[in-house]
Structures are given as structure tokens and as C-alpha cells.
A and B are shown apart, each in its own frame.
Chain A
Amino acid sequence: MKNDAKIADKFKDFKPNLSDRKNIILGMGLRGFEKLFSLKNKSILFLIGIVYLWTFAFYLLLGEDSYPCNTVSEELKTCTHLNFYGDLQYGGTRIFLVLIAAVASSGLIANDLTDKSIHLYLSRPISRIDYLIARIIPIFLLMLTITLIPNLVVFISQFSKSGLNVDFLSSNMWTFSNLILQAIFYSISYSIIGITFSAAINRESLASAGFFGSVYGVSLIVEIFYGLMSEMDIENSEYILLLSVIHFLDIISYKIFNVDYFVTIFGSPEIIEFPLSIIIGLYVLLFSSFILLVNYIISRMEVTK
């Protein structure tokens, strides 16, 4: 009885020391990341394994002699870190990156919307934007593990190949910072796209199919159309490439490495130029629209239950 009374008193006098918003958001994000990495998500773990095997096979074992960028022709240059995000035939991991982003992000908001637990999250001491950030963190961290870490591994391997020469570090300082910037850029972009599909489609499997189809599928279609339009000498046909998220992100990625962007159409590479202001403006417009759309979808949920 005495023990029961003590328990009751403890329950009654419960005065918790609640942490602040930042810690709540970070905690939610890290727990989400942990869940994505759990053994329950075998498909995600399998795809991550493939990316690392791919990196091992193409970039560590076969290793490129001229690191980081290699001159293909008088005009064209290709870089190891750009190739990593390219198509399979060029040793790229793009298809796996898109697939992982699609599978891993699809449930993040969709599940909360489907079971309506989003109302419980939003009744906690966090704002709607806090909630969105907390849901972006897991997929962002996951993407970093398959974009930044493999590239860092390649960088370190090249450093080791140079005989741990300090000159290598000083001459590749910009490569190092660019590869970090590039990995963050791809990771945040795919995370925002993933969260948008997750909120808009509201069903995990459909959201992931929608993401993959809209990003990877559309890129293939756009490339074919661009090829045909180029053959027909249609003016400004390169702008059709901006309809494909993959091409759009690649254009910015090439800008990060200060390399001319080129597309291989029917076997021959073609340099394409876009004004930087248009690309940056379009990126900001597109991705802030995604965030606003998700915010709107969630706000509608609050009102209508």
C-alpha cells in the first residue's frame, strides 16, 4: 500500500523538464533516420549495399588516373564526382539514388497522413515547419550516406594513392568542398521531392512509384524528345531538358564543378548552356513551391481532420 501511495504521489507530482523545439526536431529526425536504417527496411539496406559495392568496383578498384576531372575532348571535361551521379553505363549510381530516395521518403509524411497521427504531432510543442524539417532530416541523412560518404571514400582513396601527399590536399581543396556541396545539394533536393510526393500522394507505395516515375521516367522521355527536337533543328529545344528534374539538378551540379554541361544524344555528346540566373531562379521557385505545397496539404488536414 505504501509503495502504491508512493507511485501515485510520483505520478501526481510529475513535473517534467521538457526540452526545447530544436532538440525535439533533431530527436524526431534522428529517430526517423534510425528507422530507415533498421532491418525492417530490407529493400533500402539492399540498395544502399549496391551503391557501396558500385563505388567499390568502379571508383576504388578501377580507380581513375586523372582525378578529379578528365578532359574528354578539346571542349569536354568529365569529373569523377559528376560521373558518380550519372547513368549506369558511365559508372553512375543515379538509378539507385533515385530509387532509394523514392522508397525511403515515401512513407515519411504519407503514413502520418494515412493514420492521421499528424494531428497528434502537430498538437505537440512544434510548428508545422518544425514537423516538416523533422521529416526531411531522416531522408536527408540517408541520402548523405549514399552521396557524400562514397565520394569522401573515393577522395580519401585518391589521397592515399598519392602517397598521402599534402600537395594533393592543397591542389584538391576545391574538389573536396565542391563534392560536399554537391552531395548536400543532391540530398536536399531529393529529400524535398520525396517529402512532396509523400504528402501529395498519401499512400506509401504510390508515392514511391510516383517519385520514381516522375523523376527517372520523365528524364528518359525528355531525353528522347530533346534528341528528336535537336535532329529537327528546333530552336531553343534544350529548354525541354528543364522539365526533367534529373537534368535540371545535373545542370546545377556541373555548375558547382565549373564544368560545361553536356548531354549525350544518340551517342554523341552535346554541350548545353543555360544562363545561371535562370537556373538558380527556377530552382528556388520550384523547391520553395514544393515546400509550400506540403505545408498547404498539412494545413488542410488540420482544418478538415
Chain B
Amino acid sequence: MIEAKNVIKKYGQVTALDDFTVDIPKGKIGILGPNGAGKSTFVKIALGLIESTSGEITVLGENLDKNSIEIRKKIGYMPEHDCIPNKMTGVEFLIEMGQVSGLDYQTATQRTHEILGHLRMGEEKYRLIEEYSGGMRQKIKLAQGLVHGPELMFLDEPTSGLDPNARQEMLETINGLAEISNTNVLLSTHILQDVETVCDYVIIVNNGKLQIKENVKELVKRQTDTIQIRVGENSDEFISILKQNNNKRNIEITERWIRIPYKNEESFKEIISAAASAKCQLYEMERIAMTMDNIYLEVVN
């Protein structure tokens, strides 16, 4: 869906994207990262709103440098910040956005009412936007991005500033609309649960670099139940015994930790036995449930 090769974006001395390379598949993809990680910059570059300092991006099979205007016909964008005019009604605004996307008046009107119907906006759609609640404003922001039937929708922090109920409703709406309109979604956020709820794939970005790209379900499934160990000397021999015992199972080794998939209570006995055989001191051993939070924090920190 989006292919970025060695993309660099600098704002003066600050490097927002640092040799960023990623191949984003079709589906519902989350870009996760702390504030200032480079998520919004990447979205804006992919949208053709700003130019990268160097590197190459292909969106929906077309080169962004050569064809950014045409690409935008296939893209919808929901910015993070409030950006809708207060002095128009929801319907007027969506029709205008439809027409600016290239729809004729009749199609834009019809599509506006269909989308607002799906978003469960009743008579309030005829009210001025300045009278809307935060949740309704977000819905209008989402709807304007979908009005021209894009193949790909960029959502920049769509749940930002919403209360828990409105947030849940927005996530369900995104899920529902993406399914029903056959639209690919690129969700940029710093909220982990949003990605877990909506996305098939997750990309974690930090300091302008790609940290991880993984299928959300696989990632959670693979790392949900783990025994985390910290050992003293002779760790190499300990690890090789563990590898023999845990044939075909992933053993993750970091500088500080060794992680072994949890099978059952026997797993602890196997570890102790391996440590005894290798004459390796066990400092810590605990069963941890790896959530997206753990993964995220580990990657980001």
C-alpha cells in the first residue's frame, strides 16, 4: 500500500524522519509512537502535503514525487487538530468537501447523507458545526475524509480529546466504516488500545526510525505468555541447553533478559534443571503476560 525508501525529513536542525524505510501492506495499519516520533510527518509526506528532504515514497503503486495530486484522489485524510468551519452545517461542509474532491453536486449530496447515516447523525447534521459536541466534530472530520470513496484513509490521532465513550464509539465507527466501504486505513496514534482495537498490522516509530512492523494478532499471541529470566555466569551454556529442550520454540535473548515461551508449569522445572546443568545462577524468573504496552515500552525505551 505504501512503500517508503530511505526517507529523511529535516526541519532545520531537527530530523523528524531519519532514513525511514517501510513497506506497509493493505488493511488496517497502525503507526504507533510517542509524541514527536515522526508519525504525523510521515503521514503528511505520504499525503503529499509536505516534501521529504530525500528518499522515495510510493503510495497505492504510484510515485508520490511524480503524481501526488492524482494520488490524493484515492486518499482520505482526517487530521489530528480541529479543522472544520463553524459557520457551516455538517451537510453543507461534507458536500463542499465532496465537490472539492471532484464529485458532482448530486453525488456529493447523496454520499454525504449515506455517510452521515452510517455515522448515526440524525437531524443534527443540519445544525451549524459550532453547536456540535467533540464526538460529533470528530465524526464530521472522519466523514469528510470518506466522502469521495478513497482507497486509503489516513487517520491522525482520531480519538484525541474524546471521552472514553466517545472514543469507543469512534473506534467502532472506524472499524465499521472501513469494513463497509472497503477502505484501507492508516491510523497514526500514540494510544496502544486504539491500534489493538482497529488494526491488523502495527508499525512502531521512534526518533524518526522504524522500530518494529508486525501483525498485531501474531505479535500479541506470540508474546502473550512468557517466562522472563535473568541469569549470572555461564549463560551461553544455559541458553544452549534451553534451546535443545525447547526445540522449535522461540527463545528471545536481549542484553538483560532471556524469554522463553510459557508452556505449562513444567516449563519452570525445565529452566531450573537447565540452570543446574549449566552451573548458571538464576537471579530472576517470572511469568509475564506481554501486552502491547510491554512491547511498545520496550521498543520505545
Contact = CB atoms under 8 A, between A and B. Distances in A.
Interface of A: 7-8, 10-12, 14-16, 18-21, 23-24, 27-28, 31, 111-112, 115-127, 302-303, 305
Interface in B61-101: 69-70, 72-73, 75, 77, 79-87, 96-97, 99-101
Contacts of B85: 111-112, 115, 117
Q: Which 7 A-B pairs have the closest CB atoms?
A: A18-B102, A116-B83, A14-B149, A123-B77, A125-B72, A19-B102, A115-B85
B81 A305 contact: yes
**Max count, chain B CB within 10 A of own CB: residue among A8, A121, A124:** A124
Contacts of A24: 99-102
Chain A contact residues, majority secondary structure: helix
B96 A31 contact: yes
Contacts of B83: 115-120
Contacts, number: 98
Nearest to B47: A123
Given A12-B182, A303-B11, A303-B50, A127 B102 contact: no
Contacts of B107: 16
B148 A16 contact: yes
A18 B100 contact: no
B104 A12 contact: no
B269 to A, nearest CB: 54
13 contacts: A11-B114, A14-B111, A111-B85, A112-B85, A115-B83, A115-B84, A115-B86, A119-B77, A122-B49, A124-B100, A124-B101, A126-B69, A126-B100
A117 B86 CA distance: 10
B144 interface: yes
A115 B93 CA distance: 13
A18 B69 contact: no
Interface size class of B (residues with CB under 8 A): 35 or more
B143 to A, nearest CB: 11
B180 interface: yes
Nearest to B101: A124
Contacts of B111: 14, 16
Contact of B181 (A14, A18, A119): A14
Contacts of A28: 99-100
Nearest to A123: B77
A11 B180 contact: yes
Contacts of A12: 180-182
A23 B180 contact: no
Nearest to B182: A12
Given A16-B111, A28-B99, 14 more contacts: A10-B114, A16-B102, A16-B103, A19-B102, A19-B103, A20-B102, A23-B102, A115-B86, A116-B82, A121-B100, A123-B49, A123-B75, A125-B70, A126-B69
Contacts of B103: 16, 18-19
Nearest to B84: A117
B181 A125 contact: no
Contacts of B114: 7, 10-11
A15 B81 contact: no
Contacts of B72: 123-125
Given A7-B114, A115-B83, A117-B83, A31 B99 contact: yes
A12 B268 CA distance: 52
B28 to A, nearest CB: 16
A302 B118 CA distance: 31
B44 interface: yes
A238 B69 CA distance: 48
Given A116-B81, A117-B84, A120-B79, A11 B181 contact: yes
B183 to A, nearest CB: 10
A105 to B, nearest CB: 17
Contacts of A31: 96, 99
A201 B63 CA distance: 37
Contacts of B44: 302
A115 B107 CA distance: 26
B75 A16 contact: no
B240 to A, nearest CB: 53
Contacts of A305: 79-81
**Max count, chain B CB within 10 A of own CB: residue among A7, A11, A12, A122:** A11
B100 A16 contact: no
Contacts of A20: 102
A65 to B, nearest CB: 50
B180 A302 contact: no
Interface in B161-194: 180-182
